[in-house]
Amino acid sequence: MATEILMPALSPTMEEGTLAKWLVKEGDTVKSGDIMAEIETDKATMEFEAVDEGIIGKILIEEGTEGVKVNTAIAILVEEGEEVGDVEVSKPAEPAKPAKNEDPKDKGGADGMDHPAPAAPEADVTPDWPEGTKLKQQTVREALRDAMAEEMRRDENVFLMGEEVAEYQGAYKISQGLLDEFGAKRVIDTPITEHGFAGIGVGAAFGGLRPIVEFMTWNFGMQAIDQIINSAAKTLYMSGGQMGAPMVFRGPNGAAARVGAQHSQDYAAWYMQIPGLKVAMPYSASDYKGLMKSAIRDPNPVIFLENEILYGRSFDVPEDDDYTVPFGKARIWREGSDVTIVSFGIGMTYALEAAGKLAEEGIEAEVIDLRTLRPMDTASIIKSVKKTNRCVTVEEGWPQGSVGGYISSVLMQQAFDYLDAPVINCTGKDVPMPYAANLEKHALVTTAEVIEAVKTVTYK
Amino acid sequence: MAARKTTKKPNVSAEELKAYYHDMLLIRRFEEKAGQLYGMGLIGGFCHLYIGQEAVVVGLEATAKEGDSRITTYRDHGHMLACGMDPNGVMAELTGREDGYSKGKGGSMHMFSKDKRFYGGHGIVGANVPLGAGLAFADKYKGNDAVTFTYFGDGAANQGQVYETFNMAALWQLPCIFVIENNQYAMGTSQQRSTSSAEIWERGKAFGIPGEAVDGMDVLAVKAAGETAVAHCRSGKGPYILEIKTYRYRGHSMSDPAKYRTREEVQKMRDERDPIEAVRTLLLQGEHATEEDLKAIDKKIKDVVNESAEFAKTSPEPALDELWTDIYATEIPQEA
Ligand SMILES: Cc1ncc(C[n+]2csc(CCOP(=O)(O)OP(=O)(O)O)c2C)c(N)n1
Ligand SMILES: [Mg+2]
């Protein structure tokens, strides 16, 4: 059967080209791999090879013709004994039509995972646990360990790997006892090869397992950031939903104490930026537990940002092996009508301390713990700001491109008319973390700065 | 106790031996003092002591000449003292004070001296290895005959960037000596539990980089191997790998429960292989020095170390303005 030979696209950006020279003439026999023509693209002169076997029945575009559109028929290939007249020369293909029911403007912002409609979502204010639930005091460390152990009992595909997680019982003792209970098959010591084992974790997740990858600290997760973002976060999208990386990357994040610039970075704002990742940065032990369990069960890659200073703090935790906290639901720690203070993770310690001191001066702050940064419960922030008309954000990370900066933009776009003062972002200082004790204290955000910010926005 | 025999013992003068004894002992006493100050809360954060490994850096520094560079990990105090940095400035950095090498802003893991061509002090395992090759690249580019000593651990030897660096260093014939300080453990993980090859230096063969294993408890053996490596690099033949088998007596850092090895294992090393004791024995048995001579050295070192501690305690904390300095340069810093 006769076939058309079409003008090829010979570079990613080529739309048309010059048919510089024919190297075959009508009646010639060609087989695949034979060079038929020279074509000038926007970048270079390229040789154009035959793919099919046949006889050049007719040349449709003369050599020297410029501006030949990609996919225009340039010649006709016939079989032995076949007439050229058998083929009807086609027009260049039309560009693809836009898909129906697709108005790109219909998509929401980056705050939620599903964006069915632009309408502002309602804030979910149901309590985390029902009245009368039995509670126990637990440290964040114990809560994390229990969450992983419970999920490992529940699903044998869940395993933990990282540096010193097994025999050493965890550099920060988060995996204490897990090797004893689950054995070396499921609690795995790795060499110091973050990029390698993060990638192996992502592959294992592709392959159906539920890895928990521990970074000794998130500072070392930077070695692995390509696998986290290019492999874990984007594969679901790139595969059209066929496969993804249901897994958890976890470890302590942010400043500890006096460990200097390379060991003290807060990565909240970085990971919060990545579509395809979910990001948790809890404060209380019950949230560490409930969110870690949700993270392990989640079908997406989850970044779990813990905090070394919080590891030893105790909080009430429900006595329930199936206690989970959903992503994208903030918790209101304190109600108030004068100002909304929004924070997460270790930032909550400053937020709550400031709120306590402000109450003594008659200023009632509402304190919101975001708990997860992606999805982010902006609905709860907006709802609160509609009441208080003022907002201060608190985080330890750097100011430029901060979590607070994002919250400010959301408020400006969605609650502008309710704001009585510009939003203030209390952040870490715009410097690498110094080692000296006195400088370190100043580099971090302080409670005094939060109080001052609240007074500024309340004009007190 | 007797030093283990080494096959190729270089001719070494009494003066040289005494210098090694001095330099190794200075590191040991300095580290002991640092451990003490840490215990007192004067030093914070991470603090990785070099005790047990002194022969590595002292043996290699004996082969360096003016213009050579060195770069290492967070376990860096010994390297700084061995290349001639001032104990006062090092200790004051450990206490986070104004007179420290980084004005108190770097701490134990991040200290530098342009003057001594000591390029740090790096906290990220493996990351200093390409940096070392980059220093060597700069020397080759400038056409001088300097070499760079790039130190890293057995654990670091599993980072991918080490092998990316080996490839380029071999490809471009960089004058870089890769010094693997194999102290057998990476935190709590022994070499056998983390590393597929028993001899790490042999990995260099895949890249055409020559190398050898060296007894790191014998400063003379280290020096001899260092001379081979330096000669190779200086003559433009490209990189060289020294895998120096050593041992750290103390925990990985100050907060190491050390359950991964027995106390007996550590004690045996200290008793039978201590690098300082070995040189001491050589000095005395060869009648290169008397007990009195060595006592005088001990005393001198003690004074230097005590003075550094005093200096580090009394040096003021950095001014608060320092928080905001050194973030951007206003001009390109002059090369050392
Ligand atoms: C990229 C990275 N991962 C993990 C760590 C935490 N860490 C610091 S030292 C260390 C062990 C390194 O062992 P080795 O390379 O043998 O050097 P040694 O401490 O024995 O001198 C680890 C895991 C780190 N600093 N950087
Ligand atoms: Mg080691």
Q: Which ligand neighbours the alpha carbon of B109 most closely?
A: 1
Q: Which residue of A has its CA nearest to B156?
A: A192
pLDDT in tens, A168-194: 999 999 999 999 999 999 999 999 999
Place of tokens 């050493």: A168
- Inter-chain CB proximity B106 and A261 less than 8 Å: yes
pLDDT in tens, A352-389: 999 999 999 999 999 999 999 999 999 999 999 999 99
CATH architecture of A3-78: Beta Barrel (2.40)
Burial of A421 (0-12, 13-18, 19+ CB in 10 A): middle
Q: Please give the distance, rounded to the nearest whole angstrom, from the Cα atom of residue B246 to the centre of ligand 2.
A: 9
Q: Please give the distance, rounded to the nearest whole angstrom, from the Cα atom of residue A249 to the centre of ligand 1.
A: 19
Please tell us whether the domain made up of A135-318 is placed in CATH 3.40.50.970. yes
DSSP 8-class letter at A327? T
Mutate to test the interface with A, among B40, B76, B93, B124 (most CBs of A within 10 A): B124
> Helices (H) and strands (E) in chain A — how many of each?
13, 22
Torsion of the alpha carbons at A316, A317, A319 and A320, rounded to the nearest 10: 160
Fold of A331-457: Rossmann fold (3.40.50)
Q: Can you give the pTM of this predicted structure? A: 0.81
Asked if residues B112 and B102 have their Cβ atoms less than 8 Å apart, the reply is yes
Asked if residues A279 and A374 have their Cβ atoms less than 8 Å apart, the reply is yes
Q: Please give the distance, rounded to the nearest whole angstrom, from the Cα atom of residue A445 to the centre of ligand 1.
A: 29
**What's the rounded Cα separation, in Å, for the pair B72 and B90?**
15
Q: Which residue of A has its CA nearest to B121?
A: A262
Asked if residues A439 and B323 have their Cβ atoms less than 8 Å apart, the reply is yes
Q: What is the pLDDT of residue A116?
A: 43
Q: What is the pLDDT of residue A13?
A: 77
Between B44, B187, B323, which is nearest A168 by CB? B187
Q: Which residues line ligand 1 (CB under 6 A)?
A: A 163, 192, 194, 216, 220, 223; B 75, 123-126, 153-156, 181, 183, 185-187, 252
Complex confidence, ipTM: 0.76
The band of A108, judged by pLDDT with boundaries at 50, 70 and 90, is very low
Residues 6+ apart with CB under 8 A from B207: B163, B166, B167, B169, B170
Mutate to test the interface with A, among B43, B95, B125 (most CBs of A within 10 A): B125
pLDDT in tens, B183-195: 999 999 999 999 9
| Residue A67 backbone phi and psi in degrees, to 5 | 65, 35
Q: What is the pLDDT of residue B3?
A: 43
Closest CA of chain A from B159, distance in Å: 5
Q: What is the pLDDT of residue B333?
A: 65
Residues 6+ apart with CB under 8 A from A317: A135, A136, A137, A138, A143, A285, A286, A289, A323
Is the model's pLDDT at A107 over the cut of 50? no
For chain B, percent helix, then strand, then coil, each to nearest 5? 45, 10, 45
- Is A278 or B254 the better-scoring residue by pLDDT? A278
pLDDT in tens, A139-178: 999 999 999 999 999 999 999 999 999 999 999 999 999 9
The neighbour count for residue B196, using CB atoms within 10 Å, is 9
Residues of chain A with CATH 3.40.50.970: 135-318
| B-chain residues near A258 (CB < 8 A) | 44-45, 96, 107
Q: CATH code for B14-309?
A: 3.40.50.970
Using a CB–CB cutoff of 8 Å, tell me whether A184 touches chain B. Answer: no
pLDDT in tens, A40-93: 877 778 888 887 789 999 999 999 999 999 889 999 999 888 877 666 666 655
Catalytic-residue membership of A442: no
The neighbour count for residue B54, using CB atoms within 10 Å, is 28
Is the model's pLDDT at A125 over the cut of 90? no
Region A390-409: what's the mean pLDDT? 98
Nearest atom (ligand 1) to Cα of B125: 26
pLDDT in tens, A8-26: 887 777 788 999 999 999 9
| Residue A245 backbone phi and psi in degrees, to 5 | -125, 85
Substitution site in A161, A168, A216 for ligand 1 pocket (most atoms within 8 Å of beta carbon): A216
Give the domain ranges of chain B: 14-309
Catalytic-residue membership of A361: no
Is the model's pLDDT at A4 over the cut of 70? yes
- Inter-chain CB proximity B159 and A257 less than 8 Å: no
Residues of chain A with CATH 2.40.50.100: 3-78
Between A171, A191, A439, which is nearest B322 by CB? A439
Residues of chain A with CATH 3.40.50.920: 331-457
The residue ranges of chain B whose pLDDT is under 50 are 1-8
